[in-house]
Structure formats: C-alpha cells, structure tokens
Amino acid sequence: MSGFDIGRLVNFLSQRWETILSLTGQHIAVVAISLVIAMVFGIGLGIVVWNKPVSRSVTVTAAAIAITIPSLALLAILSPILGLGWGPTVVALVFYSLLPIIRNTVVGFREVPRDVLEAARGTGMSATQVIFSTQLPIAWPVILAGVRVAAQLTIGIAAIAAYVAGPGLGQYIFLGLSSLGSVNALNYALVGTVAVVILALLVDGAFVLITRYTTSEGLRV
Amino acid sequence: MSESTPTGILSTIAGAARGVSLELESVRKTYDGQASAAVDDFTMRIEPGELVMLVGPSGCGKTTTMKMINRIIEPTSGSIRLAGEDILSIDPDQLRRHIGYVIQQIGLFPHRTIAQNIATVPKLLGWSKGKIASRIEELMTTVELDPGVFANRYPRQLSGGQQQRAGVARALAADPPVMLMDEPFGATDPITREKLQAEFLRLQAVIGKTIIFVTHDFDEAIRLGDRIAVLSDRSHIEQFDTPANILANPANEYVESFIGLGAALKRLVLIPISRAHYDKEVPGAPSIEVSGSLRDALDLLVLTGASAVNVCDEKGRTVGSLSHATVSGALRAERQDEESV
Amino acid sequence: MTSPAAVLLARKSARRKNVVKQFVPLIIVVVSLGALFLWLSMLHLDSIEQRTLNPSYIIARVREHIGLTLLASALVALIAIPAGIIAYASKSKAFRGIALALGNIGQATPAVGLIILIAIWWQTGFFTALIAIVAYSILPVLRNTLVGLEQVSEDVRNSARGMGMTRGQVLRQIELPLASPVILAGLRTSLVFAVGVATIATFINAGGLGDMIVNGLKLQRFPVIVAGAVLVASIALLIDWLAGLVQEAVRPRGL
C-alpha cells in the first residue's frame, strides 16, 4: 500500500498544478455547458406543462424515473453511440439535470399567486409577456434552487464520466486507480477527489451569490 | 401521612373531578441572562370552580405565568399549591396528566384520529379500553361533535371550530380538576368564537372546573370570567376583581385604558334583564326573553328603533317592558350598589 | 370552506390515480427487460458475449449487486437513524452544526473518488465498497432524521408535553411517527444511491453488474453493455418503486 507523505504531495502539486488547473477548467466547462442546455430544455418543458395536470405528471414522473438510473449504466450505453469524451458526458449530465430543473420550474410557476397572475393579464399582456414579465421573475429563485441541486449532482457525475474519457478532474481519480501500487496513486486520487469537493463547495457558494443578484429585490428575504 | 407524598397529592387532585383551589405565592420567573424578571412576585388565590381570566397585552408574561402552573416553564422561586398541596414536589409529567391544557394552536396530533387524540391522557393513566371508549363517546357528545361522524376522522378533516372542540374534549378527557386555557378561541373567526364561548360557558356551568384562561381580548374576559386579573409588564397584577367591579371602578389609568371606550355598554352584558324595573307592557312592541342581558335588550331597542321592548318569561308570558330610560336606570342602580359595598 | 366530506372524496380519487401512477415504474421495468430478452435472443452471440450473457453469470452479478445495496442500506439505517435521534434529543447545537456541515461536504464528495481513495488506502473488494456506500449515505440519512424531527410542529410538541407525556413518549408516539415520512424519504434516496455506487464498485473489484458494463466497454460488445445497463437500471427502478410502496404503506394516516 502506498502510504501518505505530505512532502511528496507538495512535490506532486508543484509539478502538476498546471494540469490540475486545466482539468478543473474542463470540469467547470462541461458542467456549465450541460447546465445551460438543461436549463433551456428543463425550464422550457416546465413552462409548457406546469398548468396541464396530465402532461405535468407524465413529465415529472419520467424525469424522476430517469434520475434513478445509475450514471455508469447511462454513460456505458451512450459511449458506443456518441463515442468517447465530451459527447456522452454532456448528454448524461443534461439527462440528470433535467429532473431538479423541471420540477422546480413547475413548483415555482405554481407558486406564483393567482391574484398577481390575474393582475398581469388584466393589464392586457399577452400570455408570453406574462411569462417573461411576471411568472419567470417570481419563480426564478425556486428555479435557480433546482439548478443548484443539478450543479451539485453533475459535478459528481462528471467525475465518473472520466471512465468514458470524459473531461475534468475525474481523470486524476481514475489515474490513481490505474496506477494502484505506484508512488503517486494516492496523490492522484486524493487531488482529484479533493479538487472536486472544493469545486462543488465553491459552485454552491457561487449559486448563493447568483441567486442574490438575479432575484428581484422585492422577492429577496 | 400519605398526603405529603407526591402520589398522595396526585390522588387528592385526581379524586376531585370538580375544581380545586389554586394558589400562587410570590411566583417569579427569571430567564438566564436577562436582567428583569419575566414574571415578578405573582401572588393569587383562585377558589375551587372559579374561572379566572388573565388579561394583558402580548409579552406581559400572562402566558408564562400560566405555563408555570403545569410546569411547562419552571418557576425560579415561589410556590404553587393545588388543593393546598405544593406542586413543585411532584413529577411534572404526572402533574400535567391531571391538569387540562388547551392552547390557541390546539396542537391536535395530526397522525391520530379524534378519538385517539382524546384518549391520550386516559391511556397515559392506564385506563381500561372500555372506560376510555365510553369516556370518548361522552366527551364528544358534550362538546357537540357527533362521535359516529367524527371519532375516526383525522384533525385535518375538521373545520377550525370543530378542531377547537376536539382540543377541549381532549383536555377534559381524564376529568382534571384544573384547566389551563391559552387563548383557546384566539384563532377562530368572530362568529365561531362567539359560539364557542357560549358553549364553553354552558359546559363550565356543568363541570365546574377551576380554570385559568389567558386572553388579550378584554371583551372575552368580561363575557367568560368569574374574576379578571388585568396584568401589565412582568405579569404585575393591576387589578383582580369581578368583571362588574373592574368596569365600575377601574383601579388606575392602566386598567381604564385596557377597558377602553364603552365601559358602560360593556357592563350591560353583565346585568340580567330581570334586575331592571319593568314598565307596563307596550302593545305591538318587539319582545325579548327574560334570560337575556340588558345588552341584548339595548341591542333590540337600537336595532328596531322601537321606544320599548316587551319582556317575556320562559313560558312566553309578557311580564313588562323596557325602554332606554329603564335600561340606564338599571345600570345606575347597579353601580350605586357596588359603590356602597 | 370545503366540507370535510369533499376533502375525503377528493383524496380518494387522487389515491386511485396514484395507484395507476404507482405501477408505471414496474411496467417500464417489465417492458424493458422483456425487450432486452427478445433482442438478445434474436442476436447471434459470439463466444465472448456468451461468457457474460448466460444465466448463471447474470444471476451471480445481480445477487452481488442487490446484496451490496441492501446490506449497505441496512447498515446506514441502523447507524444513521439512531444517530439522528440522538443528535436531536441531545439538543446540542455543536453536534447538530457538525453533522450538517459534514453532511454538506459529504454531498459534495464524488462517490467515485471516495470509493477509489478508500481502495488505494486500504484494500480493494466488497468491504471497501460497503464502507464507502455506508460512509457516503450516513450523513444524508442522519440529516433527514434530524430535519424530520425538527419540523414537527411546536404546537403539537407543546400540547403533548402539556398533557404529561414524558420526553420518551413524545419522541416515540408523536415525533418519530410524524418525522417518519422525511426519514423514509432519506432512506429511499440512499437506497437508490447505493445501487449506483454498487455499479462503480466494479472499479475496485467488488463485483456487481458494473462488471458486466465494464467488460462490455472493454471488449467493445454492445449487447453486453446494454444488458448490464438495462439490468442495473431495472434494479434501481424496482428498488425505488418498492421503497415508494413501503413509504406509502407506513405513512401515518391523517397526514
């Protein structure tokens, strides 16, 4: 077993910090791209179904079922079809992000007070104008909370995607596994894992700020 | 002596289905890190079967005072005696099983049916199943909840007023001699509240419990209380007297401001019609039953615009009439009576 | 105000709709397993594929997978729920704060990183996977237990205390039943999660259906990958479905 040595870790870090930064950048990029795509589809779908009981129930149930599928299973099926690397990773991350985003969009839209909606319609706005001027801004904090959950989820899943050559810090974790027994096995896995933890905590903190600055002042508590 | 042991005290209390006396002496509550006491030197004696209202603004310590009686809050110093026995020496859980407790939010257990809710304390006391079942039936009938309909319903399936009745039934389940009621009707709408108050008075006339009733609504205090304690900061008693005396002779400006405007009108609630000197029957005038109060009579006079209302007894026979003049005469006479006392 | 009878009726029809909805996952599982079987039986499997796609191999992997999942979840329940109750009953702010903070960091830790780290540190194999899953799931379940107990309405708790229930009685008769939906929801999540981690347990030689998936990827045999993926997804769905049924069945009535 390779023991832990702080001196060797420092040495390891100083030699590879550029790679680590670049992997971190990749990790952020793949999660960000996936979240943006998932937001477009998820919020869009949520807006379409939120007031239609049957479609709403079907959509949310489908997303809830989808999210139980183990991520390695999905990645394994996607990779023969989409190849290795970014393709299957982004598709899988979007897939797992949909449930929290759709669900929170539906909840957020349903929580918009009826009288506010009526007042908006009463001013003669079209349905689309009501969505963008009233419903979306009021539901926004709830939707963002869903995106935040999705972000936490996908940061972890992206690490597994390294098995199908996905980008990001997962590569170091698997490098640790494949070099099991060598001097740096522990350092690879440790640096990869801890970097993901730090990233996840930083992103979570960033969401607090994003929520604060993109939420209407009147809705802040 | 068995009376000096905790179980002895409990059996004394438990044996007395009707009210027992309750004394608080120099009771004080200080919270850690707070300079002034929340309740300061509170002394009061409550007679068996008496309904005492604690009235005061929010934050004056009235609820804290009440919660020290069932030791939800432990007093810092002082003594509290039930039927002459010190309650601070008894296990608080045992004590609470013999004191009925009703709070504004009711606190029915949402996962238990109404029957199961009412059975809570009897079960804790180890009653037999048969005794519990018949007690549930009896109590639900008493509070006008049809057992056949409501026994197996969950709290969620009841209206606010029905839930409040279930809460009262639950508090009465083990027939405790003392009841603590913390703004029990505060969360209901005015119409339901009035109805619950009337029911409650009827109920109390039968069961005769010793009741401490906390409210911030002075009108409720007048309507329900045998005696009212008007409290100010730190649960200081500004005046402790019958509703009539407080209305007639407020002890100070604080009490006056609490009574607010219309003290005379409020007093009319307390004077039965039968105390007035009737005039002769006025043909064609609206009529009112003798069991009402002078306030009811005045209401009718104002509402109908008539110059007089006829008073009829239980059998519907007219015994005389009342006018504005006789109503105010009765009020004046009442006042002089009190001042001469 | 809606009458109680109307509320009851509305609930009944909602419940009937739920019954239909409740069987959707089961139907999906049965249909996809059927389709998988049909598809595989139409294929001409080469010798490499046959080595994996035979009943005894599949049954052994499924057994390992479910065994790891259930054992880990049982351990989680046995450790995390009592710990949550103790954390709640102790009323210690420090303990609570530490549990919640660790819970957040735990959520942020990638399962694959944790499992590989423990394997490098200690050893590969079944017990490492077991420990990784348990370590990962304890905090969320503990947190749900704590939150579930804390969200019991103060009024209900006060009235229970005011009627003379002891703290133990309040906990057993009032707080735990009322918190049970939240606690069970946490356990259900951790069960589904355990199925997922049991899949990546293959990386550290802990068996399970991950073996099939990884073999398929390495040997570039699409039918093997699909079979492994559909099986493991079916297990996840079935376990989630069963847990949902249990959750519904033991949910205190009246809530």
Test C196 with A176 for CB contact under 8 angstroms: no
- How many residue pairs bridge chain A and chain C with CB atoms within 8 Å of each other? 132
C-chain residues near B154 (CB < 8 A): 253-254
- C253 — contact with chain B (CB < 8 Å)? yes
- Which tokens is B331 given? 């009020």
- Check residue B182 and give its pLDDT: 92
Residue C167, min C-alpha distance to chain B (Å):
9
- Check residue C171 and give its pLDDT: 94
Confidence of residue A206 (pLDDT cuts 50, 70, 90): very high
In 3D space, the residue among C112, C136, C117, C146 whose CA is nearest the CA of residue C190 turns out to be C136
Q: Which H or E run includes B85?
A: strand B85-86
Whether the per-residue pLDDT at C235 is higher than 90: the answer is yes
Q: Alpha-carbon distance B335 to A37, whole Å?
A: 82
Strands (E), C58-134: none
In 3D space, the residue among B188, B316, C24, C222 whose CA is nearest the CA of residue A81 turns out to be C222
- Of the partner residues B99, B109, B159, the one whose CB lies closest to the CB of residue C156: B109
- Check residue C109 and give its pLDDT: 86
**Torsions phi, psi for A137 (to 5 deg):** -60, -35
Evaluated on CA atoms B1, B3, B6, B11, the torsion sign reads positive
In 3D space, the residue among C253, C74, C178 whose CA is nearest the CA of residue B152 turns out to be C253
Q: Alpha-carbon distance B269 to B330, whole Å?
A: 12
Confidence of residue C101 (pLDDT cuts 50, 70, 90): confident
- Check residue C97 and give its pLDDT: 82
- C14 — contact with chain B (CB < 8 Å)? no
- Of the partner residues C113, C204, C232, the one whose CB lies closest to the CB of residue A192: C113
Residue B72, min C-alpha distance to chain C (Å):
7
- Binding partners of B (≥3 Cβ pairs within 8 A): C
- Of the partner residues C24, C124, C232, the one whose CB lies closest to the CB of residue A70: C232
A-chain residues near C111 (CB < 8 A): 156, 160
Look at chain B and count its residues: 341
Nearest CA in chain B to C177: B111
- B101 — contact with chain C (CB < 8 Å)? yes
C199 touches C210 (CB < 8 A)? yes
- B203 — contact with chain C (CB < 8 Å)? no
In 3D space, the residue among B82, B43, B41 whose CA is nearest the CA of residue B210 turns out to be B82
Residue with tokens 């405007």: B261
Q: Which of A79-88, A131-140, C44-53 has the lowest mean pLDDT?
A: C44-53
Query: B185 in helix, strand or coil?
Result: coil
Higher pLDDT, A33 or A1: A33
pLDDT tens column, C128-164: 999 988 988 888 898 899 989 999 998 999 999 999 9
A214 touches A140 (CB < 8 A)? yes
Chain C (111-150) residues lying within 8 Å, Cβ to Cβ, of chain A = 111-114, 116-117, 119-124
Rounded to the nearest 10°, the torsion over CA B88, B91, B94, B98 is 0
- Which tokens is B16 given? 């007395």
Q: Alpha-carbon distance C58 to C230, whole Å?
A: 12
Partners of B222 in the β-ladder: none
- Of the partner residues C164, C174, C252, the one whose CB lies closest to the CB of residue B124: C164
Question: Model's pTM, two decimal places?
Answer: 0.79
- Check residue B99 and give its pLDDT: 92
DSSP, res A112: S
Rounded to 5°, angle at Cα C247 from C244 and C251 = 145
- C228 — contact with chain A (CB < 8 Å)? yes
C-chain residues near A100 (CB < 8 A): none
Partners of B181 in the β-ladder: B102, B213
Q: Alpha-carbon distance A74 to A71, whole Å?
A: 5
Higher pLDDT, B291 or C230: C230
**Torsions phi, psi for C9 (to 5 deg):** -60, -45
Q: Alpha-carbon distance B172 to B18, whole Å?
A: 11
Residue B225, min C-alpha distance to chain C (Å):
23
Which candidate in A59, A69, A81 is best for mutational testing of the C interface (most C CBs within 10 A)? A69
- Check residue B4 and give its pLDDT: 40
Touching pair B, A by Cβ (3+ pairs < 8 Å): no
- B165 — contact with chain C (CB < 8 Å)? no
Mean pLDDT, to the nearest integer, of C26-47? 89
A-chain residues near C225 (CB < 8 A): 76-77, 80
Whether the per-residue pLDDT at C52 is higher than 90: the answer is no
Chain B (34-73) residues lying within 8 Å, Cβ to Cβ, of chain C = 70, 72
- Check residue C98 and give its pLDDT: 83
Strand B236-241 relative to strand B227-232, pairing: antiparallel
Evaluated on CA atoms A113, A118, A124, A127, the torsion sign reads positive
**Torsions phi, psi for A124 (to 5 deg):** 90, 15
Partners of B180 in the β-ladder: B101, B212
Q: Alpha-carbon distance B67 to B106, whole Å?
A: 15
- C51 — contact with chain B (CB < 8 Å)? no
Q: Alpha-carbon distance B247 to B242, whole Å?
A: 9
Q: Alpha-carbon distance B2 to C26, whole Å?
A: 67
Chain C (78-107) residues lying within 8 Å, Cβ to Cβ, of chain B = none
- Of the partner residues B101, B109, B153, the one whose CB lies closest to the CB of residue C162: B101
- Check residue B12 and give its pLDDT: 65
Return per-residue pLDDT of chain B as tens, 341 residues: 333 444 566 666 666 667 889 999 999 999 888 888 899 999 999 999 999 999 998 888 999 999 999 998 999 999 999 988 898 888 889 899 999 999 888 889 999 999 999 999 999 999 999 999 999 999 999 888 999 999 999 999 998 889 988 999 999 998 899 999 999 888 788 888 888 888 888 888 888 899 999 998 888 998 899 999 999 999 999 999 999 888 888 889 899 888 876 777 777 888 888 888 888 888 888 888 888 888 888 888 888 888 888 998 888 888 888 888 888 888 877 767 665 55
Residue C219 burial (CB count, 10 A): 14
- Of the partner residues A57, A72, A196, the one whose CB lies closest to the CB of residue C213: A72
Partners of B51 in the β-ladder: B211
- Which tokens is C27 given? 């139907």
Confidence of residue A11 (pLDDT cuts 50, 70, 90): confident
Partners of B289 in the β-ladder: B312
**CA–CA distances in Å: residue B326 to residues B216, B311, C13:** 33, 12, 62
Residues 6+ apart with CB under 8 A from A136: A47, A143
DSSP H helices, B252-317, are: 253-259, 263-268, 294-304
Report ipTM (2 d.p.). 0.84
- Check residue B3 and give its pLDDT: 38
Q: Which amino acid is at C188?
A: R
Nearest CA in chain A to C191: A68
